[in-house]
Amino acid sequence: MENIENIKFSDWQKIDLRTAKILEVENIEGANKLYKLLIDIGKEKRTLVAGLKPYYKVEELKGKTCIVFTNLEPRKIKSIESQGMILAAVSEDESKVRLLQPDEDIELNSRIF
């Protein structure tokens, strides 16, 4: 593992991670790795852009519960405003990517600590 700088606990407390459900998955024209996702956080729906295409088929993502970084500053990717980031585990050689998910059902918008 690369040498990563430690952060203060107060910085960690600023991060808002929530459970969400992937409602829709769309291909983005001209993007080999990206999907446009519509997710339900429980209190609202948001659009995310995620580099999951090499690792998941559209039908594998639809309906999945996931963890979303909800208070990440929005960013334009391929002319789409991505309103958060879906969290995933990535193998060291980046050959495998797996969404982070709760191990059992839990309400959408549940906070991750």
pLDDT for 4 equals: 87
pLDDT for 78 equals: 95
8 A C-beta contact, residue 64 and residue 22:
yes
pLDDT for 1 equals: 54
The predicted-structure confidence for 24-79, as pLDDT tens digits, reads as follows 999 999 999 999 999 999 999 999 999 999 999 999 999 999 999 999 999 999 99
pLDDT for 54 equals: 97
How far is residue 22 from each of residues 9, 11, 112, measured CA to CA in Å?
30, 28, 17
What is the average pLDDT value for the chain, to the nearest integer?
96
Chain-centroid distance of CA 94 in Å reads: 16
Task: Estimate the share of the chain in helix, then strand, then coil, as percent rounded to the nearest 5.
Answer: 5, 40, 55
Give me the count of residues in the chain: 113
Global pTM exceeds 0.85: yes
What's the mean pLDDT in 72-95? 97
Spell out the domains of the chain, with CATH numbers in brackets.
Answer: 12-99 (2.40.50.140)
